[in-house]
Amino acid sequence: MMRLTRRQQEIYDILRSDAEIMQQPPTYDELCQRLGLSSRGSLHKHIQALVVAGLVEPMAGKQRGIRLVSTDQPEQGIPMLGRIAAGRPIEAVEQTESISVPDPMTGGNPRYALQVSGDSMIDEGIFDGDYVVIEQSAAADNGDIVVALIDQQETTLKRLEQKPGKIILHPANTAMSAMVYKPDQIQIQGILRGLVRYY
């Protein structure tokens, strides 16, 4: 399980306690009220970290935002394909192993795992040595955290922003700057769907 901040742990504990006594999880507004937060914006960042950690998942519905991921789901193996830079781009080194991940992380399109190298995504709760679960995809939306192949040579894990005539890869570390490329320099190889951390 990933390392949670105090606030993230507080949100997770609320969801766990409510799951035992209530049929529906709290709404975003109810969570804000219970946590003493003035806006959903600050809540959303903490919730996104819990989604990345595989502890909660989005819910369909007008105001019901998230629910706990079942902890009794079986684990399945997905291919472990090497390392990914969360810092300066590095050459991807492919290897053929497998890694066990909770069942909810294996749905959708084919998925694979990469080990993170670097600290450019630490503000998203993604640390050096973590394993990220990636859904294979050649396209992504603005705001997605993606595996980007740069100039057919190097791969990196960054948040995607697409603008006319350029693609911007944003780190999640205030000490680092965004990287700007021409669209033909970047090939999207997948979208972040989960995170695994071993202690």
What digits encode the pLDDT tens for the residues 10-66? 888 888 777 767 667 777 788 888 888 877 777 878 887 787 777 777 665 545 567
- The CATH number that domain 6-68 falls under is 1.10.10.10
Active-site residue numbers?
A: 120, 158
74-86: pLDDT as tens digits: 455 677 777 777 6
CATH 1.10.10.10 residue spans of the chain: 6-68
pTM assigned to the model: 0.58
* Coil/strand/helix, residue 64: coil
Helices first, then strands: H and E counts in the chain: 3, 12
pLDDT beyond 90 at 91? no
Q: Which fold has domain 75-196?
A: Umud Fragment, subunit A (2.10.109)
**Cβ within 8 Å of residue 130, ≥6 positions away:** 2, 115, 116, 195, 196, 197
Which residue spans of the chain are classified as CATH 2.10.109.10?
75-196
Question: Is the Cβ–Cβ distance between 66 and 25 less than 8 Å?
Answer: yes
Check: CB of residue 5 under 8 Å from CB of residue 56: no
**Tokens found for residue 84:** 């990914």
| 165 vs 125: CA distance, rounded Å | 30
Rounded to an integer, what distance in angstroms lies between the CA atom of residue 49 and that of residue 155? 23
Comparing 129 with 52, the larger pLDDT belongs to 129
